[in-house]
Amino acid sequence: MECMKRSLAVIEAKMALAKGWLKDPHGQPGEPGEVAVRVILDEAGKVGELCAGRERRDALGTTKTLGQMTEQVAELRVRGHGPSPPCVQRAGQCSQGLDLLLGKVDSATRRLEALTKAKLAIARRLDAAQAWLADPNGGPEGAENIRALLAEAQKIADLCEDPLERDDILRSINEIAGLTARLVELRKRGKGDSPEARVLSKQIGAALLTLQAKTNRAVANMRPAKPAITLQGKMEQALRWVNNPGQNDRGVGQAAIRGLVSEGRRLAGGLGGPYRQDMIVRCDRNEALMTSLADIAGRGEAEAPQAKATASQLQESLKDLKGRMQEVMTQEVSDVFSDTTTPIKLLAVSATAPPEAPHREEVFDERAGNFEAHAGRLGATAEKAAAVGSANKNTVEGIQATVKHTRELTPQVTSAARILLKNPVAGATSIARRANRVLLVAKREVENSEDPRFRKAVKRASDILSHTISPMVIDAKAVAGNIQDPALQKAFLDSCLRILAAVGKVREAFSPPEPDFPPPPPDLDKLHVSDQEQAPPKPPLPEGEVPPPRPPPPEEKERDRDEDFPEQKAGELLMVVSLFSLPPLIPPPPLTPKEEEGVEEVDDEDEFTDGEDDYEPELLMMPSNGNAVNQPILAAAQSLHQEARKWSSKGNDIIAAAKRMALLMAEMSRLVRGGSGNKRAMIQCAKDIAKASDEATEMLVHNAQNLMQSVKETVREAEAASIKIRTDAGFTLRWVRKTPWYQ
């Protein structure tokens, strides 16, 4: 059904172009009009193959006659006799024949559609009818359903060409109608559950099933047996009939041969000169041999010597046609599919051309036409390759489905390119892309932050933003489909405003607005001075105190201030402020007398050789209990630093690495809290921490290896020392210290 509708649509689309070529006496073969005539005949042949009986014969016969007339017109015009009366008359007859062919194809399509709909309607109503028959208390709607089913069966009977099948279906319809009327009468009298009513229900149910089987068989007989899809399958069906033309294969073999001939003529339409004529001659020869063999078999002489000779000639001719078709198809596929992307790339370039480009509209129209023509040529070639190639059924069906999908997408691509040409700035796409970028940055900051309040605020704002992007895109698509609708325009504008508000919320989460400082001055309009109100008297000075002296003049004051605060460098001033802002240091616990005895004096030179023991304010500022929970990185760094300070890092790489790690962790805590620095500094600090961790791990592994080697040496020496030697043996042992392996 879909194939017939598609063929009918193609015929209607090509009809005007074909008639224009036939009307023009100077039209030459190979022009688009002549190609349109060939396409119409090919599509009509496809429809004829799907029909049966008289319609099949009419469609195929008309197609063949019009093909011969088109060849005659093309031949006369090649000779220069296009304006001659015989050529003009033949072209007019061909034009009228195209109208007649279109009517026959339309009639066949409508008839097949009516048969299919009636068959489906019977199957759909049968279940409801059976349910009504099984219910003794069913209402009158069940009888109406059965009457509608019988009406659909009547349509199939009217379309039947076989009088025996038509009479059989009409007999069943009349029988079911009579039984249904009796059952309805019994149920009206309240005897729907009586034995007679039950028997009638069973009889009607069985008769309905029989009627469905008869209608299905009639529809199947009115449609020919479906030939094979692939070229190899058609050849097998054709050769099976050629080898035994007397068998009744319901026309499958002849349909396969007609399909081969039709595909050959289709291929010939794309050839030129002698190649096309050669292909047409081969197709005509196969068709003539098939007709001759069918006539001989119809007279009952399928086993006669003449029939065998004709069958042998037809078999060789079919093989020759198959080989020639494959050669032509291979060449056409290699030519058409050599470059499949250039037209769409050129279309994209023309659609995105700047507005000031010269001839922008004309170039786009030309390239859009080239793209559509190229897409149609690719689809037609793919269909030919599927029909002529040696692929299996699944591949052929896949190619046909892809071609159908491509034909549906081609106008959509052209329309989208035209929209892009008219609207070079993709505003909605840009808005959605930028909003997604803001959303990604917000999510990344939430993952990297340790501040719970900051994370909560940013996450809330990003969630609001994420729920505004998709509605905006949907509204933008709706506006693009109907840009003149004011309601859609307002909805799109509201969506954009919601996105702007959501982005503003994200910005406020990152940098909350600070209160104005200093506060704005009061409104002077509300202030007034009353003459009746007097200021309160000044309070008396305390007894025994004198008022303070007057301040010195400005010059003296400035001089004194300069002397009190001498000029300092920025770094020194910052250090002073940092020291004054630090809490008091925790004094170390007093030493016991034994510890005082063990303390040795340290030279000044040795005291400052440990670079990692320098004063580090960040690590000595121990957080309170509440801050320790909010600053886990700093707390861990301080704990490690306090433990490492018990040891000197001079000559001890592990202690030095631990102190470096503590300093780096403190720096990371400061960066995470947002004290100063930027993301680059945080990333560099993280890299330094990873590097220090790797160095510490390497040192620990090295020390563990040293320890294991020492243990092995100790065990070996202990084993040697445990050997017992008799004193009277005359041997003596002397222990000699070896040089350690690590020195």
**Residue 101: per-residue pLDDT:** 84
The amino acid present at 704, given as its one-letter code, is A
**Residue 184: per-residue pLDDT:** 86
Q: What is the pLDDT of residues 444-483, one digit of tens each?
A: 888 888 788 888 888 899 899 999 998 988 888 888 777 7
**Residue 556: per-residue pLDDT:** 42
pTM: 0.39
Question: Rounded to whole angstroms, how far apart are CA atoms 1 and 116?
Answer: 9
Question: Rounded to whole angstroms, how far apart are CA atoms 321 and 325?
Answer: 6
What CATH number labels 1-224?
1.20.120.810
Question: Rounded to whole angstroms, how far apart are CA atoms 369 and 293?
Answer: 47
Give burial (CB, 10 Å; 0-12/13-18/19+) of 671: buried
**Residue 537: per-residue pLDDT:** 59
**Residue 702: per-residue pLDDT:** 86
> How far out from the chain centre does Cα 240 lie?
47
**Residue 571: per-residue pLDDT:** 35
**Residue 232: per-residue pLDDT:** 78
Segments of the chain with pLDDT less than 50: 517, 533, 544-545, 554-615, 622, 624-626
Instruction: Kindly give, in sequence order, each residue whose CB lies less than 8 Å from that of residue 270, ignoring residues fewer than 6 positions away.
Output: 35, 332
Give the CA angle between residues 270, 274, 276 to the nearest 5°. Answer: 30
631-723 belongs to which homologous superfamily?
Alpha-catenin/vinculin-like (1.20.120.230)
- Same topology for domains 1-224 and 424-511, yes or no? yes
**Residue 574: per-residue pLDDT:** 32
> How far out from the chain centre does Cα 300 lie?
62
CB 288 within 8 A of CB 280: no
Question: Rounded to whole angstroms, how far apart are CA atoms 404 and 382?
Answer: 11
For the chain, the domains span: 1-224, 424-511, 631-723
424-511 belongs to which homologous superfamily?
Alpha-catenin/vinculin-like (1.20.120.230)
**Residue 227: per-residue pLDDT:** 63
